[in-house]
Amino acid sequence: MKKREFLTLLLTLLGLTAAGSFVYPLVRFLAPPSGKAKSKQITFKKSEIPVGEAKEIPFGGVPAIIINRRDKGFIAFSRVCSHLGCLIDYNKIQNRIICPCHGALFDLEGNVVSGPPPKPLQKFPLKVEGESIVIG
């Protein structure tokens, strides 16, 4: 009898451990994410970026660029080219965005004009509030 009792006890322990080893991951799996949506906002004064110029800043760990377009105002997107990851450059004289690695051309909306990139540049939300612009 003793052997059987011991065995039952051992099995119950193992069983509970196994159950717990699934319950814990499940709870973590279902729990809401821990402050993942850290929407850090960056604010600039409109005057910091004259018309036709651009400013390069890191945003959310990603190199980003804010352009003050001549016709459509401010826009912010990631500088990471959607082809292989090189950082795009804004040429203010020719008023266009070009990637130095394989010559990809983007328009000032971030869309691909020509070249190998498969997707447009990632845009960041931008609001104009009075004299300042808020990114994020």
Partner 1 sequence: MWVKIKNWLEVRIGLEELIRAQLTEYRVPRNINITYTFGFVALFAFLIQVITGFFLLMYYIPYSELAFRSIQDIMTTVPYGWLFRQIHVVGSNLMIVMILLHTLSVFFMGGYKKPRELTWVLGTLMLLATVIFCVSGYLLPWSQLSYWATTIATTMPTAFPIIGDRISELLKGSELVSGITLNRFFAIHVLLLPLVVAALLSLHLFLVRRIGISSPPFGKSGEAERPWTEYRHDSHAEGYPFFPDFVLKEMIMVMFACAVMFFIISFLPTLLLPEEANIPADPFRTPAHIKPEWYLLAPYQMLKIIPNKFLGISLQLIITAVFILWPFLERKEETNILKRPRLLGFFILSLVLWVVFTVWGKYS
Partner 2 sequence: MRYLLTLLVILLPSVGLTDYREEFRKEFLTKPWAGVQVPKDVCVECHSTDMMKPEIRVIPSQWEMSWHYQNGISCHNCHGGDPQDEANSMSPERGFVGTPKYAKVPEFCGKCHVGILKNFLESGHGKTLKVSGKGPNCVTCHGIHNIQKASINIINEQLCTKCHSYDRVKIMKQALFVTENKINDIDKRVKILKSEGVYTEDEDKELFSTQAEFRTLFHTENVSLVRERTDGFIKKLNQIEVRMQKTFEELRFRRNFSAFLMLLFIGLGIGLLILSKNPKE
- The contact set with partner 1 (CB under 8 A) reads 25-26, 28-31, 33, 36
**Four-residue CA torsion sign, 62, 133, 56, 108:** positive
Written as one letter, the residue type at 95 is N
112 CB-near residues (< 8 Å, 6+ apart): 82, 104, 105, 106, 118, 119, 120
3 lines the binding site for partner 2 (CB under 8 A): yes
132 pairs with which residues across the strands? Answer: 45, 129
Stretches 46-54, 69-77, 80-88, 119-127: which one binds partner 2 (CB under 8 A)? 80-88
Show the tokens assigned to 71. Answer: 């016709």
CB of 27 to partner 1, least distance (A): 9
Give the span between the Cα atoms of 83 and 121, in whole angstroms.
10
Residues 21-60 touching partner 2, rule: CB under 8 A, are 21
Q: Name the binder of 9 from partner 2, partner 1, none, CB < 5-8 A by kind.
A: none
Q: Name the binder of 31 from partner 1, partner 2, none, CB < 5-8 A by kind.
A: partner 1
Contacting positions for partner 2 (CB under 8 A): 3-4, 7-8, 10-11, 14-15, 17-18, 21, 80-81, 84-87, 98-103, 115
